[in-house]
Chain A
Amino acid sequence: MRIVVLVKQVPDMERVKFDCEAGRVDRSSAGTEINPFDLNALEAAVSIQEQLGGKIITLSMGPAAAEDALKDTIARGADESVLLSDRRFGGADVKATAKTIAAAIKKLGGADLIFAGIQTVDGDTGQVGPETAGYLDIPHISNVDFISAYSETDITVVSNVMEGSYVKKSSYPVLITVTKDINQPRLPSMKRKLSARKAHIPVWGYEELQDYIREDEIGLQGSATKVKRIEVPPAVTRKGQVWRENVEEAIDGLVEVLKKAKVLEV
């Protein structure tokens, strides 16, 4: 049983600033963390491994500094990690990212199960997981908040799509994207933290992947979308009327507002 977990190092979105002039996130303005949903993906993998055994490999594409995030995944239960890092991967959109990740999974010899977070908090597209499954030509099940059963050959989960909850059973290989509701990620033990610090994280660049992907399929060149410009929308101004003391007056005022908005005639 081989389980691959896709992770991304993201800026702390509560603190990070946006450089409007450069049109990009100022990553130096805040610390980094593992994309929160990816911790749920890792926890799902660890809980399955506890029952079935096998190996968990975490995979991330990013700058050299993303090694820290991968070491953290080892502290949290991953057996091995691979970092995909190369200048030439830079500027990748969803297509180039998904293709590069798919190439790395092929080089790993494939996987029975692949877990990914439903989305990242910085990019917020939620597309890389399903698109990676597409490029691997394997099925995926998205928006999963419950694992009902699993065995050496298949997994049964609850997927929330089309305003419903569907129980889906898939044989392996399959890619699953998970929500925060699927589990409560555990904290790493002290012992694992210490050994993770010494872990060696192999870094794969284009050279390592070249049997599985062409150079014009990676990075900016391999992307099928381009950001033409960034617009900073003007802040919406609101009326901003505040009542502080007189509750009766406030309620009269609100009822007037509701009347004008025509929501009282129901």
Chain B
Amino acid sequence: MKMTEKDCKGILVFAEQKKERIHRVSYELLGKGKELAAQLDCPLCSVVLGPPDMDVAELIYRGADIVYHITDPMAFAAPDEVLYEQNLVRLIRDVKPEICLFGATNFGRSLAPRVAAKLGAGLTADCTHLAIDQGQLVQIRPAFSENILAHIQSTAYPQMATVRYKEFNEAPRDTNRKGQIKAMEAYVSDNSPVKILEEIVKEDFDIADANVVVAAGAGVKAKEDLKMLQELAELLGGKLGASRAAVEAGLIAKDHQVGYSGNRVKPSIYIACGISGAPQHIAGMKESGIIIAINSDPSAPILNIADYAIVGNLYEIIPKMIRKLKNMKS
């Protein structure tokens, strides 16, 4: 059963939830989705899979006209891609949206391809812009180590894309907004081949959330030296990041890694301490508002992309900065 342009209408945003908390990228997609829906003159819908008592009105406050709430008391407490796929495909075949958007989270990037395969749809990964051209969705994504932007269009329906976190503004919250919530029971098979045994509880740390990132590189010699960077980060209300070199040297956990194979960040301020600036690292932070680099090597590539740079010893500079900031605060 192939969907054609004629029978497809509307935009469907997949809202990712964990423990009934909706991932913020979903609100960003609703923000962008609202714009696209206005251009296409079509409804903006959202789908969330979760327990029946989950409060999903938030998606209406954030711009959805219709919320499809696929319910099961237990099944969506853990990320089971097969189960999510089966339920989403059923809904999409029923609702026939022309556009389906997923956040390019780890889960979204794992789930969307399965859904696309079942629908025989195309899928563009990791978009940073979306636009409408002659009624069609233009999916724009960086490629080739972020050096180019590819403009991609789907030739099958629905037009599907995963979209990077922190590219669009969150839809504003309006608690007076009205919309429709359509609850429906999930299809749950009890002989799923994949069993999710447990979640390993780790410290809940997300570097992508930080407004300020103070990042450590190979120029940081020892684990205890991170304390001063942590202190600086805290003074600025920020979080500690790291280059791959620092992670591989065992200084800090991988959650903190910024770069192509770590996390992409876009804070207001990025302070690179002892990071030379390999292309892989720069790919993960070059969108930051203000880039500050502290490096003793005057030829370090990071200095070329920094707004402000100090060529000098970070072991001298950071403690002095901390002292100065503390004096100002007291």
Point out residues on A near B: beta carbons under 8 Å. 13-14, 18, 20, 25, 93-95, 98, 122-135, 138-143, 156, 158-171, 174, 177, 180-181, 223-233, 236, 238-244, 247-248, 250-255, 257-258, 261, 263-264, 266
21 contacts between A and B (CB under 8 A): A94-B122, A94-B125, A127-B109, A130-B111, A130-B113, A141-B194, A163-B106, A165-B199, A167-B197, A171-B193, A224-B122, A224-B123, A225-B152, A228-B152, A236-B286, A238-B306, A239-B308, A254-B292, A257-B307, A263-B211, A266-B235
B190: interface (CB < 8 Å): no
B279: interface (CB < 8 Å): yes
Known contacts A134-B113, A161-B79, A253-B308; A170/B151 CB under 8 A: no
B9: interface (CB < 8 Å): no
B307 touches A241 (CB 8 A): yes
A233 touches B149 (CB 8 A): yes
Within the complex, the shortest CB–CB distance from A233 to chain B, in Å, comes to 6
Q: Which of B32-40, B169-177, B312-320 contacts A (4 or more CB under 8 A)?
A: B312-320
Closest residue of A by beta carbon distance from B145: A13
Within the complex, the shortest CB–CB distance from B143 to chain A, in Å, comes to 7
Which of these, B151, B204, B306, contacts A231 with CB under 8 Å? B151
Closest residue of B by beta carbon distance from A238: B307
| A266, B111: Cα distance in complex, Å | 38
Within the complex, the shortest CB–CB distance from A106 to chain B, in Å, comes to 14
A170 touches B286 (CB 8 A): no
B308 touches A225 (CB 8 A): no
Which of these, A180, A226, A253, contacts B155 with CB under 8 Å? A226
B298: interface (CB < 8 Å): yes
Q: Which of B51-59, B67-75, B216-224, B321-329 contacts A (4 or more CB under 8 A)?
A: B321-329
Known contacts A125-B126, A143-B106; A167/B196 CB under 8 A: yes
Within 8 A of A (CB), among B198-213: 198-200, 202, 204, 206, 211-212
B317 touches A251 (CB 8 A): yes
Known contacts A161-B107, A263-B237; A225/B317 CB under 8 A: no
Which of these, A125, A132, A257, A261, contacts B125 with CB under 8 Å? A125
A225 touches B124 (CB 8 A): yes
B311 proximity list for chain A (CB < 8 A):
242-244
B31 proximity list for chain A (CB < 8 A):
none
A254 touches B138 (CB 8 A): no
B16 proximity list for chain A (CB < 8 A):
162
Closest residue of B by beta carbon distance from A229: B151
A125 proximity list for chain B (CB < 8 A):
125-126
For B144, B151, B195, which residue has the most chain A Cβ atoms within 10 angstroms?
A: B144
Chain B interface residue bracket vs A: 35 or more
Within the complex, the shortest CB–CB distance from B8 to chain A, in Å, comes to 14
A160 proximity list for chain B (CB < 8 A):
106
A131 touches B110 (CB 8 A): no
A231 touches B149 (CB 8 A): yes
A254 touches B236 (CB 8 A): no
B237 proximity list for chain A (CB < 8 A):
263, 266
A140 touches B81 (CB 8 A): yes
Known contacts A167-B198, A244-B298, A250-B317; A162/B105 CB under 8 A: yes
Within the complex, the shortest CB–CB distance from B154 to chain A, in Å, comes to 5
B147 proximity list for chain A (CB < 8 A):
18, 232
B42: interface (CB < 8 Å): no
A225 touches B155 (CB 8 A): yes
Within 8 A of A (CB), among B77-94: 78-79, 81-82, 85
| A257, B328: Cα distance in complex, Å | 14
Closest residue of B by beta carbon distance from A265: B237
| A266, B282: Cα distance in complex, Å | 27
B328 touches A264 (CB 8 A): yes
Known contacts A228-B151, A244-B298; A170/B199 CB under 8 A: no
B200 touches A158 (CB 8 A): yes
B120: interface (CB < 8 Å): yes
Nearest 7 CB-CB pairings of A with B: A134-B117, A224-B122, A266-B237, A125-B125, A225-B122, A131-B113, A130-B113
A238 touches B236 (CB 8 A): no
B1: interface (CB < 8 Å): no
B106 touches A140 (CB 8 A): no
| A263, B202: Cα distance in complex, Å | 28
A95 proximity list for chain B (CB < 8 A):
116-117, 120-123, 156
B261: interface (CB < 8 Å): yes
| A180, B200: Cα distance in complex, Å | 19
Closest residue of A by beta carbon distance from B139: A225
A250 proximity list for chain B (CB < 8 A):
310, 312, 317
B238 touches A263 (CB 8 A): yes
